[in-house]
Structure formats: structure tokens, C-alpha cells
A = this chain, B = another copy of it.
Amino acid sequence: MTTTAPTSSAVRLAAETWESLFRSQVAVMRRLQAGAAFKKLPIKEYDVLFTLSRCPTGKLRLNEINDHVLLSQSSLSRLVDRLEKRGLVERSIAPDDGRGILLGLTAAGQELQKEIGREHIRDIAELVAPALTADEQRELLRLTEKLQAFVAHK
């Protein structure tokens, strides 16, 4: 046994931490996706609209979106088909990569994202704000950002 091997209690703590994070995510997500906000658009499709609405350039490569969702590459492609068919997004060729697709919101897409987002954000606050103090929320935000940053660069 070397001094750098993880101890079983360290492994157990990591596992329990992950389990708790995952289960809390499930608990909140079950509530959110069942809400009235997602009658018009499934939450996974909304997520793409939201991600596009939040990015500085307003456009993203499909593979960039794909790095942040739990869908296979092909499923994301098909999800984008559905959004495009509804006139909510538009595909264009990426200017610096002939293989690539840039995705942007249409005006209708922006409008729908805002409409759903208003209700969605209220649902989130209804769940999170009474559960945790503002300081606790900030700490949770910091810890999960730290975790995500590590995993993203690993």
C-alpha cells in the first residue's frame, strides 16, 4: 500500500457525496419537469433554447452543446431537428469548420424560451429558496462550480 492510495473512507465520502448530489438533483428535477412550464416544450428541448439564450454570441456548435447534456450526439442532432421544425432554432454552417453546425435561436425561439423561463425560474425558487439560506445557496453554487470545473478539465 502506497501513501498516495485513496483510503476506503475517502472513497466512501466521495461516493456518498456524489450519491447525495445526484439524488437531490433527481428530486428537484422530478418536480421541475412535471410543472406547468413544460407543457409547451419538453425540458430537454428547453435546455437547448436556454443554453443558446445564455451564450455571449447567441450561437453555439452542436458539439459544444453536446458536452453539457446527457444525450448522445445523434439524439441531440435529432432534438435539434425537432426544434428547427418548430421554427425555434436555425442551423448554419460554421464559418471556420466545414464539418460544423452553428445553432442559433430564432425570434420565436427566444420568445418561447423567455415565456417558459419565467415560470420555470419561479418553480426553481419555490424549491430551492425555502430549503437553503442564501449563504447555503452561495456555498452550494461555489462547490458545484468547483466540481464541474475540475471534471470539465480532467
- Whether A128 pairs with B140 at a CB distance below 8 angstroms is no
- Whether A14 pairs with B129 at a CB distance below 8 angstroms is yes
A92 CB within 8 Å of chain B:
no
Q: How many copies does the complex hold?
A: 2
Which chain B residue has the least Cβ–Cβ distance from A66?
B30
Kindly state the separation between the CA atoms of A15 and B33 in the bound complex, as whole angstroms.
15
Kindly state the separation between the CA atoms of A136 and B146 in the bound complex, as whole angstroms.
10
Interface size class of A (residues with CB under 8 A): 35 or more
- Whether A143 pairs with B147 at a CB distance below 8 angstroms is no
A129-B11, A132-B17, A137-B17 known; A24+B148 contact, CB < 8 A: yes
- Whether B140 pairs with A20 at a CB distance below 8 angstroms is yes
A139 CB within 8 Å of chain B:
yes
Q: Mark A12-41, 1 if CB is under 8 A from B, else 0.
A: 111111101111111111110100000000
- Whether A140 pairs with B141 at a CB distance below 8 angstroms is no
Q: List 13 A-B contacts (CB under 8 A).
A: A13-B129, A17-B137, A20-B148, A21-B140, A23-B144, A24-B144, A27-B68, A31-B151, A31-B154, A132-B143, A136-B143, A139-B139, A140-B147
- Counting from the closest, the 4 A-B pairs by CB-CB distance are A131-B150, A14-B128, A24-B148, A24-B144
